């Protein structure tokens, strides 16, 4: 067997039942995965169960979970308060086509945490949250175009899945990026209606916002752009630019709400006009939420007949609301402090371990979310991330699975949960060092 194949061969030998599941699924769902994000080579693990900070696959292997359901399971798996709340709700009713009282508590919980939230609406996903916030911004301002930053992901609807990871030859000049659809099949009109701004370049972004202000409904910004370290001045500058040009500012806190009790906006000291949420707000169930200024949100008041609306069969789902309430209530300031300290400890340990990598590599964290990059410095934006030596991503991911650690398979969207211990964090650092020394990992990365 060629050394380059050894790592995958070991993976296949250790995961025969996952392989059977994959093959069986492939008959009914394209690529053997029920959603794209599940896929990695040679085939994804099928998990049997999750408990606390651990996942168990169908082949009987245990993993410390450092992905936590795309960062959403901030309390880990099977948190007693979430389970109790969900069980109680299941007894009351799964979905009854009417409010059940506790949605007010979830909205209040969000409002009590985030100063800019005067009103809140609930939906089913982060994608829906950005969709509705953008539509609301358009309806409120009467303007059609929207602005977003290159390299930033805000969900999978046509208005925002633009210039997320464009081919560089189609991306246009750095200070004036061109909109590029992420996938075939997207509306050309949506692409034309999206102004793409350069991330991190405040002067250029401000200039573009100013030039297009008469047509622009909103500027959408995710404060950590995944797990990047955007300068606070940039984030505050975008807020000021939007205000100066009378364009609404939508802050996407779908991931960054795990940074602090009041979200990233409390850390940077800004007040967006609208904010979108998802992930941790649903306690592990499908969720989206958005809200902000009362004068904007109150256009939804059905009695006012403004022509602006939002609903959905499963929006404000009672079980989601019960789970989300339990999750948020468990997230005390002390819980955030501990998680963020663990995130710092992990990132600095990883940076040290990654010095042994034969190619330049580094790690960074945004509180309890973290990412590994095969670059000498963390990327500043999408374009600087393109220099990464991506050959190392899958071998390191597989090497960590072998050592009992489950990360996001891109090594970009990884996150801690409250049951994670400092010992587990240090063990992950050791595992990274061990994997990087493993000849099979090195051979897989370098092709031989
Ligand atoms: C910043 C950001 N916005 C929006 C979304 C979309 O959320 P969802 O996957 O719940 O539709 C995601 C998902 O990862 C995200 O990371």
What whole-number distance in Å separates Cα of residue 427 and Cα of residue 135? 46
Residue 393 host element (H or E): helix 393-402
CB burial of 106-131 (b: ≥16 within 10 Å; e: otherwise) equals: bbebbeebbebbebbbbbbbbbbbbb
Q: Is the pLDDT of residue 61 over 60?
A: yes
The ligand 1 atom at the shortest distance from the C-alpha of residue 222 is 1
The residue annotated as part of the active site, out of 153, 158, 201, 206, is 153
Best residue among 74, 254, 288, 315 to mutate for probing ligand 1's pocket (most ligand atoms within 8 Å of CB) is: 254
Q: Is any ligand 1 atom within 6 A of the Cβ of residue 70?
A: yes
Q: Answer yes or no: 390 catalytic.
A: no
Catalytic residue, chosen from 201, 252, 381, 438, is 252
Cα 127 to averaged position of ligand 1 atoms, centre (Å): 6
pTM beyond cutoff 0.75 = yes
pLDDT in tens, 350-409: 999 999 999 999 999 999 999 999 999 999 999 999 999 999 999 999 999 999 999 999
Q: Is 152 exposed, middle or buried (0-12, 13-18, 19+ CB in 10 A)?
A: buried
Ligand 1 lined by 259 (C-beta under 6 Å): no
Question: From the CA of 126, how far away is ligand 1's center (Å)?
Answer: 5
pLDDT over 70, % of the chain: 99
Per-residue pLDDT tens over the stretch 265-297: 999 999 999 999 999 999 999 999 999 999 999
- Residue 10 phi/psi, 5° resolution? -65, -40
Say if ligand 1 is within 6 A of residue 126 CB.
Answer: yes
Q: Which long-range contacts (CB under 8 A, 24 or more apart) does 267-270 make?
A: 268/223, 268/232, 268/235, 268/236, 269/236, 270/235, 270/236, 270/239
Q: What is the pLDDT of residue 3?
A: 47
Give the mutation target among 124, 153, 285, 369 for probing the ligand 1 site: most ligand atoms within 8 A of CB: 153
Residue 4's pLDDT is what? 54
pLDDT tens-place string over residues 63-90: 999 999 999 999 999 999 999 999 999 9
Residue whose pair of structure tokens reads 């296949």 in the numeric block: 12
152 has pLDDT over 90: yes
CATH 3.40.640.10 applies to domain 3-74+333-446: no
Atom of ligand 1 nearest to the CA of 288: 10
Residue 448 has pLDDT above 80, yes or no: no
Residue from 127, 159, 227, 408 to probe ligand 1 pocket by mutation (most atoms less than 8 Å from CB): 127
Cα 154 to ligand 1 centre (Å): 5
**Burial status of residue 151 (CB atoms within 10 A of its CB: 0-12, 13-18, 19 or more):** buried
What value does the mean pLDDT of the chain take?
A: 97
Which pLDDT tens digit goes with each residue over 96-142? 999 999 999 999 999 999 999 999 999 999 999 999 999 999 999 99
Q: Whose CA is nearest to atom 3 of ligand 1?
A: 154
Would you call 153 a catalytic residue per the annotation?
yes
Could you say which of 43, 279, 381, 438 is catalytic? 279
What pLDDT is attached to residue 2?
Answer: 55
Tell me the average pLDDT across 1-22.
Answer: 89
Radius of gyration of the CA atoms of the chain, in A:
22
Burial class (CB in 10 A: 0-12, 13-18, 19+), 209: buried
Q: Is the bond leading into 186 cis (omega within 30 degrees of zero)?
A: no
Name the CATH code of domain 80-330 (choices 3.40.640.10, 3.40.50.800, 2.60.40.10, 3.40.50.720).
3.40.640.10
Q: What are the φ and ψ backbone dihedral angles of 36, each rounded to 5 degrees?
A: -60, -40
Q: Give pLDDT, residue 340.
A: 98
Atom of ligand 1 minimally distant from the CA of 127: 11
Domains 3-74+333-446 and 80-330 share a fold: no
Q: Does residue 1 register a pLDDT over 50?
A: no
Distance 160 CA to ligand 1 centre (A): 11
Ligand 1 pocket residue status of 154, Cβ below 6 Å: yes
Distance 43 CA to ligand 1 centre (A): 24
Say if ligand 1 is within 6 A of residue 442 CB: no
155 lines ligand 1 (CB under 6 A): yes
Which letter, b or e, does each residue of 371-406 get, where b requires 16 or more Cβ atoms within 10 Å of its Cβ? bbbbbeebbbbbbbbeebbeebbbbbbbbbbbbebb
CA distances from 332 to 105, 144, 309 (A): 16, 40, 34
3-state secondary structure of 123: strand
User: Ligand 1 centroid to 277 CA: how many Å?
Assistant: 9
> Active-site residue 233, yes or no?
no
Residue showing tokens 């964290």:
365
DSSP string across 251-309: EE-TTGGGSSTTHHHHHHT---SEEEE-GGGGTTS--EEEEE-HHHHGGG-GGG--S--
The label of the residue with tokens 């022509």 reads: 307
Domain positions in the chain: 3-74+333-446, 80-330
Confidence of residue 325 (pLDDT cuts 50, 70, 90): very high
Between the alpha carbon of residue 65 and those of residues 228, 278, 283, 346, the distances in Å are 22, 20, 17, 14
Residue nearest to atom 16 of ligand 1 (CA): 255
pLDDT tens, position by position, 215-269: 999 999 998 878 999 999 999 999 999 999 999 999 999 999 999 999 999 999 9
């Amino acid at each position: 067997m060629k050394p380059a194949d050894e790592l995958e061969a070991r993976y296949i030998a250790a995961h025969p039942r996952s392989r059977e599941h994959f093959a069986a699924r492939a008959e009914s769902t394209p690529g053997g995965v029920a959603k794209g994000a599940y896929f990695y080579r040679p085939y994804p693990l099928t998990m049997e169960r999750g408990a606390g900070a651990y996942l168990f696959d169908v082949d009987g292997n245990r993993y410390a979970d450092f992905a936590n359901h795309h960062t959403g399971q901030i309390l880990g798996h099977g948190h007693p308060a979430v389970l109790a709340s969900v069980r109680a709700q299941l007894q009351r009713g799964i979905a009854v086509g009417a409010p059940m009282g506790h949605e007010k508590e979830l909205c209040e919980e969000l409002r009590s945490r985030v100063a800019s939230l005067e009103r809140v609406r609930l939906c089913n996903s982060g994608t829906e949250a950005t969709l509705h916030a953008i539509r609301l911004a358009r309806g409120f301002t009467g303007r059609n175009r929207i602005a977003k930053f290159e390299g930033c992901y805000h969900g999978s609807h046509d208005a925002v899945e633009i210039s997320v990871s464009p081919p560089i030859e189609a991306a246009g000049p750095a200070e004036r990026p061109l909109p590029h659809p992420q996938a075939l099949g997207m509306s050309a009109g949506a692409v034309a209606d999206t102004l793409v701004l350069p991330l991190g370049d405040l002067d250029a972004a401000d200039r573009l916002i100013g030039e297009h202000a008469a047509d622009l409904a909103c500027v959408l910004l995710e404060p950590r752009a995944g797990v990047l370290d955007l300068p606070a001045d940039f984030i505050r500058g975008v807020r000021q630019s939007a205000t100066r040009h009378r364009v609404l500012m939508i802050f996407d806190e779908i991931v960054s709400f795990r940074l602090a009790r009041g979200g990233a906006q409390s850390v940077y000291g800004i007040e967006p006009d609208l904010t979108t949420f998802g992930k941790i707000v649903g306690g592990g169930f499908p969720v989206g939420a958005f809200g902000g200024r009362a004068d904007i949100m109150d256009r939804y008041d059905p009695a006012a007949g403004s022509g602006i609306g939002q609903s959905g069969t499963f929006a404000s789902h009672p079980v989601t609301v019960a789970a989300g309430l339990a999750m948020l209530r468990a997230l005390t300031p002390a819980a955030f402090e501990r998680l963020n300290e663990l995130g710092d400890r992990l990132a600095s340990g990883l940076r040290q371990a990654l010095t042994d990598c034969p190619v330049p590599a580094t790690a960074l964290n945004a509180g309890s979310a973290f990412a590994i990059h095969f670059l000498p410095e963390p990327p500043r934006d999408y374009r600087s991330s393109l220099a990464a030596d991506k050959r190392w991503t899958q071998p390191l991911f597989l090497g960590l699975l072998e050592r009992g650690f489950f990360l996001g398979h891109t090594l970009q969207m990884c996150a801690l949960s409250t049951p994670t211990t400092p010992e587990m964090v240090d063990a992950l650092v050791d595992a990274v060092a061990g994997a990087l020394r493993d000849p099979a990992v090195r051979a897989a990365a370098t092709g031989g």
